[in-house]
Amino acid sequence: MKRKVHVISGVTGMTGNELARQLVRDGSNLVIGFDNFFASSIDSVADLIEEENFKFFEYDLNDEEQMNQIGSMVKKLGEEGMEIFYVNCAAVVHTEHFYKVENTFATNVVGMKRFLDQAIEVGARAYINCSTSEVYSMQSWNDNGGVRESDYLVLATAEHSQRTSYAVGKLLTEFFMKDAVDKGLIRGCSIRFANVYSNHELYPKHIIPHIIASLKNRGQVELLENSKRNKRSFLHNIDSCRAVLALLNVSEALDGSVYNVATDEEISIVDLVKLIGSKMGIEEPAILFAGYRASDPERRILNTDKIRQRTCWEPVVNLSRGLDMCLGIDKEKK
């Protein structure tokens, strides 16, 4: 059996670091990962740095010289008989950056396409494109089991929300992915993740770490007015990365199409605060509401039949257990 090398962009980010962890611990994979720490830190892969089969580079996806070095290295490994797989986890993803259109376009679109071109050039077996459920915009749910990958998309207008530039850019990467597969250049697919969270997330940018950090530091949580009505399902990054690996293991699934990856466990944002508070010993935590975000859907429910039917994937970390992990609660001692 050929040894495999997985090249991961954005490896210290939320999806990248856990994917590298699962691959490295398998023992038969070499992981080459890089990141520029735009919204992450080397600390998220501190447990992997000394591993022999993990090679990390502080490189920028948009730096042509650095990416050429990655390409040359990987091409040589391919010539030595290793099977090559690319996973693009790099993204300008935090909400505060959604309005910086130049940043999102440079990394999420141009960087993804160049990384895809490199994968094709070095003869990679497959390319996984990490996209986002943000592409569903204001039509993120329905009463028929959730939105499907085949549903038509209705995005917010540019006048309504610049934030949509993030979703539009990610949608464009899905077109690049499908086009490359249709032309027979590579196998691959795109994955629309919904509300991924992680106990390795270092900065309180997303809602779960924001709630935890706020309760720890201030004893109260400030939320947008939208949160009075908003509901979400949350996917632990252990499960999001298991989905990547499940798809890589089924060649027929790498047909250039799109896969929803989410859970069915919906909870309101207010109840999420209460649940986290109860786990921290805070009953009825104080919630302050301030500000409003346009183009923020009240619910986001994704139908995941497609990936479940084509692979063996299903989520294994429920929300309660995932929150315990984020809070450092040892379930066996509870």
Query: Can you state the angle between helices 207-217 and 269-279, rounded to 10 degrees?
Result: 50
- For residue 111, how far is the Cα from the chain centroid? 16
Q: What is the DSSP letter of 249?
A: T
Structure tokens at 205: 């940018």
pLDDT of residue 99: 63
Q: Is residue 224 part of a domain?
A: no
Q: Is residue 161 part of a domain?
A: yes
Q: Which residue has the tokens 């027929």?
A: 252
Q: Which residues of the chain have pLDDT under 70?
A: 1, 39, 92-100, 156, 158-163, 202, 330-334
Q: Is residue 211 part of a domain?
A: no
pLDDT of residue 334: 36
pLDDT of residue 19: 96
Which backbone phi and psi does 73 adopt, to 5 degrees? -65, -45
**What's the 3-state SS for 260-326?**
EECCCCEEEHHHHHHHHHHHCCCCCCEEEECCCCCCCCCCCCECCHHHHHHCCCCCCCCHHHHHHHH
The number of beta carbons lying within 10 Å of the beta carbon of residue 3 is 13
pLDDT of residue 107: 83
- Give Rg (Cα) of the chain: 20
The enclosing domain of 26 has a CATH number of: 3.40.50.720
pTM: 0.93
Q: Where are the beta strands (DSSP E) in 10-145?
A: 29-34, 54-57, 83-88, 126-132
As for how many domains the chain has, the answer is: 1
Q: Is residue 252 part of a domain?
A: yes
Closest to 286 measured CA to CA, from 295, 294, 277:
277
Domain interval for residue 176? 4-201+234-264+296-316
Q: Is residue 217 part of a domain?
A: no
Q: Is residue 182 part of a domain?
A: yes
Distance in angstroms (rounded) separating the CA atoms of residues 194 and 267: 13
pLDDT of residue 204: 74
Q: Bridge partners of 193? A: 132, 261
